[in-house]
Amino acid sequence: GAVVSQHPSRVICKSGTSVKIECRSLDFQATTMFWYRQFPKQSLMLMATSNEGSKATYEQGVEKDKFLINHASLTLSTLTVTSAHPEDSSFYICSARGIAGGKINEQFFGPGTRLTVL
């Protein structure tokens, strides 16, 4: 099946610093990538959708200047949490969608990145 990786798997940073999370589709070209955030014991909430070569579209309530998304190639999207604060501590999960396995709508999920802001 299609494989999506994320790096790093976990990161601890100080308040006020910026953190970059990478999402890669390893064996297919991802025309669209999605970024989700998941707080403990809660569901996944979509933050933004990025299409290769164009600006990301953000869901209501998500600050685009705080969560910078870049989708520069068909296999890589990055999420940068700028000036991170403890309330940004969460599990960040990406997914990728492309023409993989014949299912046009299917999203393939990465393993997630645990961000802890001290």
Partner 1 sequence: GESVGLHLPTLSVQEGDNSIINCAYSNSASDYFIWYKQESGKGPQFIIDIRSNMDKRQGQRVTVLLNKTVKHLSLQIAATQPGDSAVYFCAENGAGGTSYGKLTFGQGTILTVHP
Cα 79 from chain centre: 6
Of 32-71, binders to partner 1 (CB under 8 A) are 32, 34, 42-46, 49
Q: Shortest distance, CB of residue 38 to partner 1, whole angstroms?
A: 9
User: What does 73-97 look like in DSSP terms, one character per residue?
Assistant: ETTEEEEEE-S--GGG-EEEEEEEE
Residues between 5 and 34 with contacts to partner 1, criterion CB under 8 A? 6, 32, 34
**Residue 82 or 116 with smaller CB distance to partner 1:** 116
Rule CB under 8 A: which of 68-107 touch partner 1? 91, 93, 95, 97, 105-107
Q: How far apart are CA 77 and CA 106, in angstroms?
A: 17
